């Protein structure tokens, strides 16, 4: 009977240890970008449901997958949200989500992003065009707007997607993924 009791105690201890989340998990999950419940780098365009809530709008030339526009945005209860576009890669994984908001929601959205993600850089308030960037555990976020624009955009990039598809980091040794070496134009014969 003692062996059964000891085995049960060991089993319960083992289950409790595996069921308890590690101390760092809540912080990591809080820093995981999953806008509108779609985790970047994991969510699939083909699994979006129900079909009346989205429309395929073409192919993402740079990523190789579908481009999808979400409809009925009022269900997300985000003030000022006017448009959501998903770009999937050739493996059907969401690599970019762009959310367009009315300008009146800028301060509220920026504050929420500041509270949740690590800020990487921001332009000064008096700049002609506004830009801010944050880091997430599974990607990065960008906020873009013009000083007098009526809307602003928040772009959620899956980890590594921006670097893979767009090499505009300013380093001389990187070339854009879509760039191909072009032959020098030859002058027409006289």
Q: What is the pLDDT of residue 163?
A: 82
Other beta carbons within 10 Å of 78? 18
Q: What is the pLDDT of residue 11?
A: 33
For the chain, counts of helices (H) and of strands (E): 4, 8
Sign, Cα dihedral of 60, 61, 63, 65: positive
Q: What is the pLDDT of residue 183?
A: 46
Classify 30-165 by CATH class: alpha beta
CB 173 within 8 A of CB 167: no
Q: Tell me, yes or no, if the pTM score tops 0.85.
A: no
Residue 12, pLDDT > 80, answer no
Q: What is the pLDDT of residue 83?
A: 97
- Give the three-class secondary structure for 28: helix
Q: What is the pLDDT of residue 81?
A: 97
Half-sphere exposure of 120 (CA within 13 A, CB side): 11
Q: What is the pLDDT of residue 29?
A: 54
| Mean pLDDT score across all residues of the chain | 78
Instruction: Say how far apart CA 102 and CA 25 lie, in whole Å.
Output: 34
In eight-state DSSP terms, residue 149 is -
Output 168 or 120, whichever has higher pLDDT: 120
Q: What is the pLDDT of residue 168?
A: 54
Output 24 or 102, whichever has higher pLDDT: 102
Q: What percentage of the chain reaches a pLDDT higher than 90? A: 52
**Main-chain dihedrals φ then ψ at residue 106, nearest 5 degrees:** -55, -50
Interval 126-143: pLDDT, tens: 778 899 999 999 999 999
Interval 16-70: pLDDT, tens: 333 333 333 334 456 899 999 999 999 998 888 788 889 989 898 888 999 999 9
Residue 112, pLDDT > 50, answer yes
């Amino acid at each position: 009977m003692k062996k059964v009791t000891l085995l049960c105690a060991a089993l319960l201890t083992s289950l409790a240890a595996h069921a308890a989340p590690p101390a760092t998990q809540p912080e990591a999950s809080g820093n995981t970008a999953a806008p509108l419940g779609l985790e970047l780098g994991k969510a699939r365009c083909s699994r979006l449901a129900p079909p009346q809530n989205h429309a395929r709008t073409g192919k993402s030339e740079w990523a190789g997958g579908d481009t999808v526009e979400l409809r009925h945005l009022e269900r997300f209860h985000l003030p000022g949200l006017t448009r959501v576009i998903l770009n999937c890669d050739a493996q059907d994984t969401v690599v970019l989500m762009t959310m367009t908001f009315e300008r009146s929601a800028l301060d509220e959205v920026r504050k929420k992003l500041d509270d949740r993600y690590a800020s990487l850089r921001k332009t000064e308030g008096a700049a002609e065009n506004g830009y801010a960037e944050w880091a997430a555990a599974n990607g990065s976020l960008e906020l873009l707007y013009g000083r007098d624009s009526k809307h602003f955009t928040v772009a959620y990039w899956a980890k590594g997607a921006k670097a893979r598809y767009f090499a505009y980091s300013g380093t001389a040794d990187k070339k854009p993924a879509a760039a191909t070496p072009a032959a020098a134009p030859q002058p027409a014969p006289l």
